[in-house]
Amino acid sequence: MTIKKNHSSYQVMTVFTLQQGWLRVFLNTSRKHRNQGSGSLSPLSIITFDVWERGGTRTLGEYECVVNTLISFLTVESYTYAQICIEMVLHLLPEKEADRNVYELLCRYSNLIGKKNERILTIITGWQLVALAGFCPDIEGVHIYQNGITDTGRPVYYLSEESEPALPAVTLSSSVQQLWKTILAYDWNTEQPLQISKKAIAFLEELLYSYVQQCTEQPLHAVDFLYTIEKQ
């Protein structure tokens, strides 16, 4: 999912596997190890690989990567949505916990990015990740409150099963509730177009980012970057 430089001779790759969920794997980039694999390593690509483990550290062995060529054609904004999706995976799901449903969801996301609207794709995937991670709220009974505004001007929402009199309540319209349910139950194999209200999807996008950060107590840095782009 991601590749980050860690040392002059090493990089750290984060990959989601069918067998063990998401893992961090070290890549030895020294000259004598550069020809161990086939294909350029890039985000949201499909990779088959071997690792060897020593002292709890996994190092990449031979690999074959099928590059997602559409990634290179994304705009900065579209690529940022992909980064938001990756951050949500890493925050919502524990390391080394296999989940076939999450794996299949990420494969669909990888296959569709660059072909579908990246914003809508990320919102649907994000809410389904929330559900698969076990954090799905009761849409009919949840209380939603506005809990301030971020430095970038984004509204912050707080979801609770209890009444919070100190916070201003947000009332959900029936159209927002219905779209929320539709997104959570969205069938990726359907050919029927998804009917989306611009106002409703904008609210559910903000609610998603707030809720993921509430559940995980970790910031979504790519979301803040997205808003700096939109303000330019």
CATH number at 6 reads: 2.40.50.140
pTM over 0.95: no
pLDDT at 228: 87
Read off the pLDDT of residues 2-60 as tens digits, 9 standing for 90 and up: 666 555 567 888 999 999 999 999 887 665 555 566 667 888 888 888 888 888 888 88
Read off the pLDDT of residues 123-180 as tens digits, 9 standing for 90 and up: 999 999 999 999 999 999 999 999 999 888 889 999 999 999 999 999 999 999 999 9
Smallest CA-to-CA distance from 189 within 122, 104, 114, 130 is with 104
The Cα angle at residue 72 between residues 25 and 114, in degrees rounded to 5 = 100
Whether residue 86 sits in one domain with residue 35: no
Whether residue 113 sits in one domain with residue 15: no
How would residue 191 be classed by pLDDT, with cut points 50, 70 and 90?
confident
Total domains in the chain come to 2
pLDDT at 120 over 60: yes
The type of residue at 158 is Y
Read off the pLDDT of residues 193-204 as tens digits, 9 standing for 90 and up: 888 999 999 999
Whether residue 60 sits in one domain with residue 145: no
Residue that is last in its domain, among 38, 67, 96: 67
Whether residue 90 sits in one domain with residue 60: no
Whether residue 190 sits in one domain with residue 99: yes
Residue found under tokens 């690999």: 63
Whether residue 21 sits in one domain with residue 81: no
**Residue 69 or 126, more confident:** 126
Whether residue 122 sits in one domain with residue 8: no
pLDDT at 158: 97
Q: Order of strands across the sheet with 143-149?
A: 155-160, 143-149, 169-170
pLDDT at 36: 67
- Residue 37 near residue 62 (C-beta atoms within 8 A): yes
The Cα angle at residue 213 between residues 212 and 216, in degrees rounded to 5 = 80
Whether residue 119 sits in one domain with residue 58: no
pLDDT at 52: 85
pLDDT at 230: 77
* Burial state string for 201-232 with b = 16 or more CB within 10 A and e = fewer than 16: bebbbbbbbbbbbebbeeebebbebbeeeeee
pLDDT at 141: 93
How would residue 232 be classed by pLDDT, with cut points 50, 70 and 90?
low
Which domain range does residue 61 map to? Answer: 2-67
The continuous run of DSSP H or E covering 121 comes out as helix 118-132
pLDDT at 200: 96
